[in-house]
A and B are shown apart, each in its own frame.
Chain A
Amino acid sequence: MPGDRTNLPRLALHVPEPQFRPGDAVDFAGVEIPAAGAARRPDTAEAAGEFRDLAYTLVRVLDENGRATGPWDPKLSPETLRRMLRSMALTRAFDERMFRAQRQGKTSFYMKCTGEEAVAIGAAFALDRDDMCFPSYRQQGLLIARDCPLVDMMNQIYSNTGDKLQGKQLPIMYSEKRFGFFSISGNLTTQYPQAVGWAMASAAQADTRIAATWCGEGSTAEGDFHSALTFATVYRAPVIFNVVNNQWAISSFSGFAGAEATTFAARAVGYGMAGLRVDGNDILAVYAATAWAAERARTNQGPTLIEHFTYRVEGHSTSDDPSQYRSAGEPTAWPLGDPIQRLKDHLIGMGEWDEERHAAMDRELAEQVRAAQKAAEGNGILGHGLHQPLDTLFDGVFEEMPWHLREQRQMMLDEETASGRPWDRK
């Protein structure tokens, strides 16, 4: 009888649920961690289809004892390793200081990258200084590794007189052209096709520079992600796509971006792109994967997608409280450990570092951050009066200011006079 469906099985909607919620005991035994050194390292000149297996494993160099092993070991000098360690430690010290500054009311907002320092800093060491980075908001390590003055970063966070973005942008949405760091947007993944366009332009101009871009695993669900990967494959653009899979997109676990069914590196396979899945807490693996992808890009072999398998140790931002949606035990139980500790152990194992030097470095970096903060606060903090001339509000909407903006600027200046609150004289 038409329309009679009573004898058919009922459908059921699957809504993903993370393994652990607040109060749950955490056991990450189910997370598959291949042994360090086990993944093969193919020639970069091979066709993208030749290394699909690497999209489903984990490229790892540092083993449980802190030893570097296997074909991906980049065999960096102890001096380089110490510089990497220092950049990671400085990034963490910076984050801690700025997080506290937000809690003290000196600025409105901050986002830490705790536990993910290796992702940005490993890449920064593998790329050339003039390769262009299109980051998301959690790659402050790129700026620190490229020696951006901390005071400049803090000036932006404080929206003060030293802020070259003139207080126009939310804290941490840096723009640093001189350090190859593209203007950060609040709109997720928009930087992905932009990085492809930059890379296409570089190729069209027969330049030698490449582009790299970052987004979180949650942001891979955006349409820009798909468009970017399609364009990059079509034009064989010299670009590196980094997906920082830190397991969480604010309160949503990675299952809501598709992680229950596959890996994020595996997205590359369907686009005909090289894809690598990397231990994101192993800076040597991040470095080696980025160098490999950069070599592919520089030799016109096309784009590479790298999934950095890591864990977001802290809340999403200063506006977030992760204890509301995940177990407090997760960060410490995370099986890939802490990227700083792992590199430190490695250097100590090599006889190139020790606890005393590490403690001294941490003290020195804390002092460096404190001094930078003092200098930045000398330029003012958010909420203590106006730090930029009032009428800069209208600068830069267009190259030249049209009549309607000139009129509105005058209206604002008149309001300021009428209000009796001289915003621009503090």
Chain B
Amino acid sequence: MNMIQAINSALDVVMDRDATVTVMGEDVGYFGGVFRATAGLQAKYGKTRVFDTPISEIGIVGVAVGMGAYGLRPVPEIQFADYIYPALDQLVSEAARLRYRSAGEFTAPITVRSPFGGGIFGGQTHSQSPEGIFTHVSGIKTVTPSTPYDAKGLLIAAIEDNDPVLFFEPKRIYNGPFNGHWDRPAENWSRHPAGEVPTGYYRIELGKANVVRAGEAVTILAYGTMVHVALQTVADMGVDAEVIDLRTLVPLDIETIEASVRKTGRCMVVHEATRTGGFGAELAALVQERCFYHLEAPVERVTGFDTPYPHSLEWAYFPGPVRIGQALKKILKD
């Protein structure tokens, strides 16, 4: 399966098991979603469980919170993460705080799916990575998969989780594992082992990272598309890096991170999102606090620039193999 098919399969499996799971969003119903993630679900489960919504992100998330309070398990879709901002108040002030402010009387067991990330010539409003805005909010879990196998297992776990989850899907790797070499032919998931996805039910526990490449020289913390870019770069450079796919940003798998950095003595953080105030800053701070005496070099951050995401200059902006390579040389020099 590619990642879209894996997400579709996760929704199908979980809707089949739990009649309260309800899918909603712009174009997700009859049409099956602009990325086809919900294709076939309305025909199979009916219009009261899979339905199109008005174009209103406040409404989509606000209504989902109310449905959750009733006892359903809504899975709203925000068509692009760039368009999640109108729903910010409902996510930050309501979904994230409902359990806390009602001391558990009401909860918001919602999973907001949203395609995020760049590398597709999406320009300013189809490329953003806003995860850092949400990792800053107490009460929300933030998840992002990097393979079809993980996407399905993590999405099922997210939907079954009783806390609100933001599920950011890296749309650049919906069809294949993009390695950062935009000038080479695109790969697809059919030749990748993580493209093998069971058709039935399985879960990948939230809060657990995945060591996708064991190594001794440096620890690379990445998620989403950047996992593949990092893997390709260390392979090209012959660096014995340990690459960790975080999978869940909140709650974070701090144990796996600590164990790796204590072993390698070096740590690099890689994300597409802009640098200042990004999630990489939190990761760098945590590593510095917890592994200070094991560090042999400063923690490096390889990120998007602090600019809006450009259109024509996409590959100058995207933190690709060259930027990662230079940072690797720098961190390994000492």
Contacts and interface: CB of A to CB of B under 8 A. Distances in A.
Interface of A: 132, 134, 164-166, 168-169, 173, 175-177, 182-183, 185-187, 190, 192-205, 211, 223-224, 226-228, 230-231, 234-235, 395-399, 402-404
Given A198-B70, A227-B62, A204 B22 contact: yes
B54 A202 contact: no
B307 interface: no
A224 B58 contact: yes
B124 interface: no
A210 to B, nearest CB: 12
A348 to B, nearest CB: 41
25 contacts: A134-B66, A168-B100, A176-B105, A177-B106, A183-B101, A190-B93, A193-B62, A196-B59, A197-B63, A197-B64, A197-B67, A197-B68, A198-B67, A201-B66, A203-B48, A204-B72, A205-B70, A205-B72, A211-B66, A223-B58, A235-B51, A396-B103, A397-B138, A397-B139, A399-B161
Given A168-B101, A187-B89, 9 more contacts: A190-B94, A193-B65, A197-B69, A204-B49, A224-B59, A227-B56, A231-B54, A234-B54, A402-B251
A201 B72 contact: yes
A164 B163 contact: no
B65 A231 contact: no
Contact of B66 (A175, A187, A200, A226): A200
A175 B59 contact: no
Contacts of B221: none
B308 interface: no
Interface string B77-115: 000000000100110011001111111111100000000
Counting chain A CB atoms within 10 Å of each CB, the highest count among B22, B48, B63 belongs to B63
B239 interface: no
Contact of A165 (B64, B65, B70, B102): B102
Contacts of B51: 235
Q: Which of A134, A197, A230 has the most CB atoms of chain B within a 10 A radius of its CB?
A: A197
Nearest to B250: A402
B210 interface: no
Nearest to A165: B103
A183 B106 contact: yes
B98 A183 contact: yes
A169 B251 contact: no
Contacts, number: 147
A230 B49 contact: no
A199 B65 CA distance: 12
Contacts of A187: 89, 93-94
Given A201-B66, A231-B53, A398-B141, A168 B106 contact: no
Nearest to B55: A230
Interface in B7-28: 22
A196 B90 CA distance: 14
Given A187-B94, A230-B59, A231-B59, A397 B100 contact: yes
Contacts of B93: 185-187, 190
Contact of B99 (A132, A203, A230, A396): A396
B281 interface: no
B254 interface: yes
A388 to B, nearest CB: 10
Nearest to B161: A399
Interface in B147-169: 161-163
Contacts of A398: 99, 139, 141, 163, 251
B91 to A, nearest CB: 11
B252 interface: yes
B207 interface: yes
B99 A399 contact: yes
A234 B59 CA distance: 12
A196 B69 CA distance: 11
B277 interface: no
A194 B22 contact: no
A161 to B, nearest CB: 14
B94 A230 contact: no
B94 A185 contact: yes
Nearest to A206: B48
Contact of A194 (B94, B99, B104): B94
B67 A177 contact: no
Interface string B27-65: 000000000000000000000110101101011011111
A200 B63 contact: yes
Nearest to A226: B56
Nearest to B107: A399
B71 interface: yes
Nearest to A407: B254
A402 B14 CA distance: 25
Given A187-B94, A224-B62, A234-B54, A175 B138 contact: no
A192 B62 contact: yes
A199 B162 CA distance: 21
A231 B56 contact: yes
Of A134, A185, A195, most buried by chain B (CB within 10 Å of CB) is A185
A241 B138 CA distance: 31
Nearest to B71: A201
Q: Which of A199, A226, A231 has the most CB atoms of chain B within a 10 A radius of its CB? A: A231
Contacts of B207: 402
A289 B320 CA distance: 63
Nearest to B62: A193
A402 B54 CA distance: 36
A224 B90 CA distance: 9
A237 to B, nearest CB: 9
B243 to A, nearest CB: 22
A197 B54 contact: no
| Residue among A175, A186, A204 having the largest count of chain B Cβ atoms under 10 Å | A204
Contact of A230 (B56, B98, B252): B56
A224 B69 CA distance: 17
Interface centre among B48, B70, B107 (most CB of A within 10 A): B70
Contact of A175 (B56, B106, B162): B106
Contact of B63 (A165, A169, A231, A402): A231
Contacts of A166: 103
A195 B106 CA distance: 13
B63 A194 contact: yes
A195 B48 CA distance: 17
B252 A404 contact: yes
A196 B103 contact: no
B143 to A, nearest CB: 13
A109 B164 CA distance: 30
Contacts of B105: 175-177, 183
A194 B67 CA distance: 7
Interface in B97-145: 97-107, 138-139, 141
Contacts of B68: 197
Nearest to B66: A197
A193 B251 contact: no
Given A190-B93, A198-B69, A231-B59, A182 B106 contact: yes
